[in-house]
């Protein structure tokens, strides 16, 4: 079946482009002695996770326990859960899934560490199986993450002593590193120096840190600038989107995911309505400067996707020289591909327009 025969809205994955993205990232990391541990929140599809591992990734990263369960159920075995696990219901599930996989979790507090340690004792049924532990540090994001300093060293020390947990190192995130390539390089240089100081403090306290997990898609091809980072958790790089293009790190040609939509109304002059709005794309805004738009229309960059309701996309056509009729089909690259993927039940993988794969978004909507 050709992609033009699919009903809309439909998520289309250009498999050749996606494979090129996976290969290029893996080669860069391999060249610089870094491991790839891609974040699967971008695609939420076990088949794509397996392709990343087959290309050389040491494992995957998940945001939620429900994503871990889907991925382990599909045969993935090396998993970092980059989110603090709190509450009895999740702790029970965490220990259960850890029996089947090599699981590492990240957190920033002793409360969470103790909860997991005790749960391993309570639910681990004497399996002796430990859960790996990374302490998340705040290196500028201001989200989760303990501030570097004596308290952080003390937390790592306590974690290393807790039964059921195996302290493996630190987790950071370079999501705050934005700007031009030169600006990013300068920020990464500072990060390099800071991480070396932090690791020095931990070594002085007698703590080994075989893993320093970091990275982001805009800094992916600059990850060699931060020497202490051992593995890269980039996620978006597998598809890319308008926001990653706006960082200058990639081009539109590197965008592997598009959403096919159909024109359903031309009644208002100067405007067309497409059959995808915030329920198809989400209302995540474009990160770049200038007019807020909701995606890039591949066929006609003069079309401006300026407004959305849940099922309606408002596309201004006053700058375009083309004319549009009801039933016309357009393809839109979303602003933020991770959140857009979460809105869809399945995706179509194609090569040169021929659909060769239909994949359910198996880890979609896993909130717990």
Question: Hey, is 209 helix, strand or coil?
Answer: coil
When asked if residue 326 is in the footprint of its own copies (CB under 8 A), the reply is yes
When asked if residue 358 is in the footprint of its own copies (CB under 8 A), the reply is no
> How far, in Å, CA of 90 to CA of 86, rounded?
7
Question: Which listed residue (164, 276, 334, 349) binds its own copies by CB under 8 A?
Answer: 276
Question: Which listed residue (19, 55, 278, 357) binds its own copies by CB under 8 A?
Answer: 278
When asked if residue 262 is in the footprint of its own copies (CB under 8 A), the reply is yes
Closest to its own copies by CB, 225 or 343: 343
Window 289 to 318, contacts with its own copies (CB under 8 A): 309-312, 314
Window 115 to 174, contacts with its own copies (CB under 8 A): 136, 138, 142-147
Torsion of CA 223, 49, 240, 24, to 10 degrees: 50
When asked if residue 284 is in the footprint of its own copies (CB under 8 A), the reply is yes
Work out how close the CB of 273 gets to its own copies at its nearest, in angstroms, rounded to a whole number: 6
C-alpha distances out from residue 272 to 9, 146, 330, Å: 16, 49, 11
Contact track, its own copies, 73-102, x by CB under 8 A: ----------xx-xx-xx------------
Q: Can you give the C-alpha Rg of the chain in angstroms?
A: 22
Question: Maximum distance among all alpha carbons in the chain?
Answer: 71
When asked if residue 266 is in the footprint of its own copies (CB under 8 A), the reply is yes
Q: Residue 101, Cα to own-chain centre: how many angstroms? A: 21
Work out how close the CB of 69 gets to its own copies at its nearest, in angstroms, rounded to a whole number: 13
Inter-residue contact 163 to 115 (CB < 8 Å): no
> How far, in Å, CA of 62 to CA of 42, rounded?
10
Q: Which of 216, 215, 237, 218 shows the shortest CA–CA distance to 228?
A: 215
Task: Give the footprint of its own copies on this chain (CB under 8 A).
Answer: 7-9, 41, 63-64, 83-84, 86-87, 89-90, 108-109, 111-112, 136, 138, 142-147, 262-268, 271, 273, 275-276, 278-280, 282-285, 309-312, 314, 325-327, 338-339, 342-345, 365, 367-368
């Amino acid at each position: 079946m050709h992609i033009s025969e699919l009903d809309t809205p439909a998520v289309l994955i250009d498999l050749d482009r996606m494979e090129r993205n996976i290969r290029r990232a893996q080669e860069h990391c391999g060249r610089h002695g870094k491991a790839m541990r891609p974040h699967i929140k971008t695609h939420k599809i076990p088949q794509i996770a397996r392709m990343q591992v087959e290309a050389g990734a040491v494992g995957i990263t998940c945001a939620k326990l429900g994503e871990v369960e889907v991925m382990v159920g599909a045969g993935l075995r090396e998993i970092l859960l980059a989110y603090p696990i709190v509450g009895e219901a999740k702790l029970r599930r965490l220990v259960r899934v850890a029996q089947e996989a090599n699981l590492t979790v990240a957190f920033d507090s002793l409360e969470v560490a103790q909860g997991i340690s005790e749960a391993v004792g309570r639910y681990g049924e004497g399996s002796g199986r430990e859960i790996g532990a990374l302490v998340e540090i705040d290196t500028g994001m201001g989200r989760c993450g303990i501030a570097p300093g004596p308290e952080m060293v003390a937390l790592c020390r306590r974690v290393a002593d807790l039964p059921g947990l195996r302290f493996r190192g630190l987790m950071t995130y370079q999501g705050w590193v934005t700007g031009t390539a030169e600006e990013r390089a300068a920020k990464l240089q500072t990060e390099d120096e800071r991480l070396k100081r932090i690791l020095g403090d931990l070594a002085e306290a007698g703590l080994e840190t075989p893993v320093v997990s970091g990275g982001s898609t805009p800094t992916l091809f600059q990850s060699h600038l931060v020497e202490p980072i051992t593995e890269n958790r980039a996620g978006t790089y597998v598809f890319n989107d308008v926001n990653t293009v706006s960082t200058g790190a990639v081009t539109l040609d590197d965008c592997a995911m598009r959403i096919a939509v159909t024109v359903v109304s031309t009644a208002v002059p100067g405007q067309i309505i497409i059959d995808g709005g915030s329920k198809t794309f989400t209302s995540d805004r474009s990160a770049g400067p200038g007019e807020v738009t909701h995606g890039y229309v591949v066929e006609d960059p003069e079309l401006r996707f300026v407004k959305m309701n849940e099922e309606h996309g408002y596309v201004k056509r006053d700058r375009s020289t083309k004319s549009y009729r009801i039933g016309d089909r357009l393809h839109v690259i979303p602003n933020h591909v991770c959140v857009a993927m979460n809105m869809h039940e399945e995706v179509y993988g194609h090569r040169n327009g021929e659909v060769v794969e239909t994949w359910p978004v198996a880890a979609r909507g896993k909130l717990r």
